[in-house]
Structure 1
Amino acid sequence: MTQKLDNLKEIRTDKQKIGIWSIKISGVSLPLYLIMLVILIIGIKLDKLPGGILGALAVLVLLGNLFYYIGNHLPIFKSYLGGGAVFCIFASAVIATFGILPSGAVKTVTIFVNDMGFLDFYIAALITGSVLGMKRDLLMKASIRFIPVAFISMAVSLLMVGLVGMLIGHGFGKSVLYISLPMLAGGIGAGCVPLSGIYASVLGKHSSEIISQLIPASAFGNVLAIIGAALISKIGASFPKYNGHGAIMKSDTEEIKEEDRELKLDVVQIGVGFLISVSFFILGSIFNYFVPHVHAYAFMIVIVVICKITNAIPQYYEDCAVMFNKLIMKNLTPAVLSAIGIALLNLNVLAQSLTWQFIVLCFTSILTISIVSGFIGKLFGLYPVESMITAGLCNNSMGGTGNVAVLSAANRMELIAFAQMGNRLGGAIVLILGSFLIHILT
């Protein structure tokens, strides 16, 4: 009798699992999710979408999670083209660029992303939590090895783009100044904008004339970096010797990527983690005020790293930061990817620059920096897969948002601190280098 009852329970459970109620998007059953989506669409159509953070998050979270789910279930896309991360970015860019998402909603999201610090909030949580959650020995050893790998890879990539540009008739100087440097500069705000100002002051032009020539390389390079990271992660799975699965290196005595300590959820600690992350970001911004050419992220990374190495932060507060990091990364990553597509990736601007020379040179930059970073990273004791993604592809991305997209596509978000380290420090050097090369190569 007991056996029959158990069988009936199993049959009933199986029946409950069948159907659309078993499909869940970010923890919400599909029917309920669709109701929420319909409410959002009606609100947008009636021009009743709330302004500011409420309306923007409604759009980004609902659309982002939907696109992320679809991308992770499309047969070819999920295996070879970056899955949910890449699909989320481009699906969001399509609906914004071609007017499928009404302009009012696009404007609300764009203001939220560009003027209200949404991405800063996300990246601050990731940097603080990822650094404070790492082993102290790993941080010391890996940082010393990682930075030279990133800089050498960037230098070789720049030279290769110039040489290939010369061979295909695009010119060494033009290829370096308008394709390689903007791809390596660390994004739009911290890279292309100041770089355009540097060029404009020397060429006697307005920076608006220059920046339109720089943004396409940065944007297209970021696209290639995202897809490249997904492919490297996929291919790297077949080579366990060269794949750290999220650990950037292995120590002499033990595997660096140790098991995470079990953290018991505590809502008070999550709030404390928020305060710690925000405080570190503000501190980085204060240093940036005195040294404007170095991005606030770079200062923030250095400060958090110093605190970790010197054991200045008690374990309780480190746990708080890690807990807040996990909360934000788990719930807001698809929203951030959707924000990148809607607010930062204009497909029309990108399409206008797609000459064959432009495409060849962008591919040259991506391939060179990937191969060199993997090879040099191996020599310096880093896992080649992780080195190719962080020291290589993240240095061809659009700064902080690009790093999030690249690492998300590779499922290695825990490496955000290293990605930002190479991206920001390397971006600062690119700006200095650009101020010299614009005199020499024009």
Structure 2
Amino acid sequence: MQNVAKVSEKQGYKILGLPVAAFAIIAAVIFAATSIGKLPKGMIGALALMMVLGAILNEIGNKTPIVNSFLGGGPIVIIFGSAALVTYNILPKAAVDNVTTFMKSGGFLNFYIAALITGSILGMSRKLLMKASVRYLPAIICGVLVSMGLVGAVGALIGYGAQKAIFYIGIPIMGGGMGAGAVPLAKIFGEAMSTDPAQMLSVMVPAVALGNAMAIVIGGLLARLGKLKPSLTGNGKLLVEDSGNDVVEEEEENKIDLKMMGTGLLMAVTFYTFGSIVNKFLPVIHTYAWMIITVAAVKMLGIIPRKYELAAKQWFTFVMTNLTGALLVGIGVAYTNLGQVVAAFNWQYIVLVAVVIIGAVIGAGFGGRLVGFYPIEAAITAGLCMANMGGTGDVAVLSASKRMELMPFAQISSRIGGAFMLILASTLLRLLL
């Protein structure tokens, strides 16, 4: 998630684009309305509270040492901080009920995910997507297969259960973070297993957070390994035979156009609706997965003119920049049970999270070598950047490994790799249940 606060020499410190004093006044109004029971019902009151609370908790997370470096920073604090406000009855029940309704029956979660999937895939370079499918995706698949195989085997050996380890720990960690991974996965699992998604998310969220922390640490260790074993690394170059990475995402002028942003909104909800239609006739795969397949196919076939793809990207960027904090508050309030989170943590859980990360590194490293990549660069991008928390995790892992030039490949892991995990999870559930 992009930082909602900026430091500008001329404009001063800002939160949600506002000077601190102005934001404080707005926050005071929202919190006062919440405390006296006059927060408007529906999306107005829910969004107001979620945006303000998300911005404050995001600031705390991004400024707290260790948390901001190894545990995901703002997003993690938003989720668990919001959940704590509910657990300890700090938020009034009326506000909690309003946010929960907005997230679930109000459809805000689906609204966000639709924008994310459509904009992130259509906004990519078509050349980048095509090349990724030829070489890079096999490396991702190798990392996924080894990590799932190892966590399943170890889960069975230590008494946690192979299937539970794969579905509740392995797949969420490799699934692309919170908003694009754990949250839609919880909904997919909940529908398939006739279980409350909140219960599953309470197990998945700590796995994603702990996996992100481990991925950052191991990224730094892989950088050291590259110095000890120079033959394993391209020092930031992925392809062995190339003098440089030939897969780069072009910089395009994408001037904000309010009308085109509305077009992007319409495209996002239409692709989601089409996924729902296909799911009705072919329920073996979840609506999200059908949506991903459809958007990727349209992108690769070049059906939509580039200006409309950029419209979808603009809408996605707007939603991600302004509403991610609100979404994470909703996840904390409506989907995260702190009691279940605490109960999930034990020595077995920590071991299994570590096994997933190690499996991703080994699988992606060997798989990358087979398709002509340097093992360390492949392990970092196709392995660790699958196991971290999306965009923020990509930055942290690449920074720790001192390989920021690999960002285009990390983004493929976060976007396409995460989408692949949703499809895989949906398919496995139908086959095994």
Aligned position for 1:421:
419
User: Map of 1:350-429 to 2, 5 A cutoff?
Assistant: 350-377=341-368, 379-380=370-371, 381=373, 383-390=378-385, 392-393=386-387, 406-411=390-395, 415=412, 416-429=414-427
Pairing 1:285–2:276 present: yes
TM-score of the aligned structures, taking structure 2 as reference length: 0.78
What is the distance in 2 between the residues matched to 1:122 and 1:214?
A: 20
One-letter identity of the residue aligned with 2:12: S
The equivalent position to 1:176 in structure 2, one of 162, 167, 174, is 162
What is the distance in 2 between the residues matched to 1:56 and 1:248?
A: 48
Amino-acid identity (%): 33
Query: Larger Cα Rg: Structure 1 or Structure 2?
Result: 1
- Contact 1:72–1:83, Cα closer than 8 Å, also in 2: yes
- Contact 1:86–1:227, Cα closer than 8 Å, also in 2: no
Q: In terms of mean alpha carbon deviation, does 136-145 or 218-227 score higher? A: 218-227
What is the distance in 1 between the residues matched to 2:47 and 2:266?
A: 21
How far does residue 316 in structure 1 lie from its aligned partner after superposition?
Answer: 2.0
Per-residue CA shift, 1:85-118, capped at 9, x if unaligned?
2222222222222222222222211111122221
How far does residue 216 in structure 1 lie from its aligned partner after superposition?
Answer: 5.3
Per-residue CA shift, 1:352-394, capped at 9, x if unaligned?
233323332343234323442354345444843331245x427
The equivalent position to 1:77 in structure 2, one of 60, 67, 84, is 67
Pairing 1:324–2:315 present: yes
How far does residue 235 in structure 1 lie from its aligned partner after superposition?
Answer: 7.1
Aligned position for 1:104:
94
Aligned position for 1:143:
133
What is the distance in 2 between the residues matched to 1:90 and 1:249?
A: 42
What is the distance in 1 between the residues matched to 2:379 and 2:423?
A: 21
Pairing 1:160–2:150 present: yes
Cα-Cα RMSD: 3.4
- Gap change, CA 1:79 and 1:222, over 3 Å in 2: closer
User: Map of 1:253-264 to 2, 5 A cutoff?
Assistant: 255-264=246-255
One-letter identity of the residue aligned with 2:427: I
- Gap change, CA 1:159 and 1:420, over 3 Å in 2: closer
One-letter identity of the residue aligned with 1:410: D
How far does residue 154 in structure 1 lie from its aligned partner after superposition?
Answer: 3.6
Alignment gaps of 5+ in structure 2: 1-7, 173-184, 227-232, 396-406
What is the distance in 1 between the residues matched to 2:239 and 2:81?
A: 31
User: What secondary structure is seen at the aligned counterpart in 2 of 1:139?
Assistant: helix
The equivalent position to 1:189 in structure 2, one of 187, 190, 211, is 187
TM-score of the aligned structures, taking structure 1 as reference length: 0.77
What is the distance in 2 between the residues matched to 1:393 and 1:241?
A: 22
Aligned position for 1:224:
210
Alignment gaps of 5+ in structure 1: 1-15, 198-206, 395-404, 436-442
- Contact 2:264–2:308, Cα closer than 8 Å, also in 1: yes
Aligned position for 2:399:
none
What is the distance in 2 between the residues matched to 1:295 and 1:215?
A: 17
How far does residue 47 in structure 1 lie from its aligned partner after superposition?
Answer: 0.7
How far does residue 242 in structure 1 lie from its aligned partner after superposition?
Answer: 6.5
How far does residue 61 in structure 1 lie from its aligned partner after superposition?
Answer: 0.8
- Gap change, CA 1:121 and 1:162, over 3 Å in 2: closer
The equivalent position to 2:292 in structure 1, one of 301, 314, 337, is 301
What is the distance in 1 between the residues matched to 2:39 and 2:240?
A: 47
- Contact 1:373–1:387, Cα closer than 8 Å, also in 2: yes
How far does residue 43 in structure 1 lie from its aligned partner after superposition?
Answer: 0.6
What is the distance in 2 between the residues matched to 1:323 and 1:235?
A: 37
- Gap change, CA 1:160 and 1:309, over 3 Å in 2: closer
- Contact 1:236–1:243, Cα closer than 8 Å, also in 2: no
The equivalent position to 2:267 in structure 1, one of 267, 276, 287, is 276
